[in-house]
Structure 1
């Protein structure tokens, strides 16, 4: 490696590596065999990211929306209530009496199972529960979509951030980053947090760096 990439902190270059290389080296695809809810084995592939790779990310990850859990629950309630309304609340109700010459097909008679009064309370309200849960599910889906669109709009300048990010050099010995021959930037060693602030500010989402602080995995601080 050229001496021009020597760390300005320790003056050595044997443990200096380009930031993109360090970032990619800390992101591995791990494949495992797991059982689903039905007990069947399936192959699942997940991306495992090291703390250092996460700290050097040129763009923040998409935020996790806890509201999505509400949408999942309301969707479950919607389906469960609808099935209960159709097969329990409405399926046992007998239709109008049809004469033999009416030409229409009569609905099946479930009187052998008893009348709805004998079987329990009226479950007609489940139709309203299903409709309400469906409305909540649709609202949650709309809100999640809106938030994702807003996040994509906020990080639309990631190309500029990645251009600066790609010119950073990380010293594994010092745990700092420095730039080489970048206009407007000196060679002073930067903490991971300061490096994140510079890169994310270049992309136009620098305010997120104050919320999602970069933590040095070797030192446990930003």
Structure 2
């Protein structure tokens, strides 16, 4: 298969081969005294630019904020229950505000963690619904590592961003190609 841009075929490979060949796992020992083993997965920019699906939305911040709210809720509840004797026959009202703080903290945590989970679940469902159509377009692409362009058979050369838009558009999530743009990806020898 010849590249329509440079008219050579020595660096042209199928898009799935570029993506799968680009992902490598490394295991190395770091440090002299601590003898830790570090396992990393390295995905080159070219393979990342040819990704079949967009990366999942980042929701770790909401979850990370929800966990301390749960701890605040538990702490204020225990403090109020023990200090205010809420479960006695005649509970004291002086520490009742801790019950409200506990309830609002628990509600906030539930909302944050719930929206985070719902966002991730909706994203996975959306990707799964269009993955077959996107994979059909993606698997027919040919990438020239020399020019960093993609083409379909004898068709014209597409930039990596245009290819991403075509693949993700076929899957029904094409607008995410504008959110996750390909910038400055050039091919390096050896991919």
Classify the TM-score, shorter chain. 0.7 to 0.9
Please give the secondary structure, in 2, of the residue aligned with 1:170.
strand
Distance 1:77 1:207 in 2: 34
The equivalences for 1:115-154 within 5 A come to 125-154=97-126
Distance 2:44 2:113 in 1: 31
Please give the secondary structure, in 1, of the residue aligned with 2:8.
coil
Deviations 1:88-125, CA, capped at 9 Å, x for gaps: 555467898xxxxxxxxxxxxxxxxxxxxxxxxx7664
Structure 1: stretches of 5+ with no match in the other structure: 35-39, 97-121, 181-185
Partner in structure 2 of residue 215 of structure 1? 183
Distance 1:47 1:197 in 2: 26
Q: TM-score, normalised by structure 2?
A: 0.76
Q: Is it true that 1:188 corresponds to 2:156 in the alignment?
A: yes
Aligned in 2, Cα 1:32/1:127: closer, same or farther, shift over 3 Å? farther
Q: Is it true that 1:167 corresponds to 2:140 in the alignment?
A: yes
Q: TM-score, normalised by structure 1?
A: 0.66
Partner in structure 1 of residue 48 of structure 2? 54
Higher percent of residues as helix? 2
Partner in structure 1 of residue 61 of structure 2? 69
- Where do 4+ consecutive residues of structure 1 move more than 6 Å? 40-44, 92-96
Which stretch of structure 1 is more off in the superposition, 16-25 or 188-197? 16-25
Partner in structure 2 of residue 110 of structure 1? none
Structure 2: stretches of 5+ with no match in the other structure: 89-93
Aligned in 2, Cα 1:134/1:33: closer, same or farther, shift over 3 Å? farther
- Give the number of the structure whose alpha-carbon radius of gyration is greater: 1
Task: Kindly state the Cα deviation for residue 162 of structure 1 after the two structures are TM-superposed.
Answer: 0.7
Task: Kindly state the Cα deviation for residue 157 of structure 1 after the two structures are TM-superposed.
Answer: 0.8
Q: CA RMSD in A?
A: 3.2
Q: Is it true that 1:8 corresponds to 2:4 in the alignment?
A: yes
Distance 2:49 2:3 in 1: 19
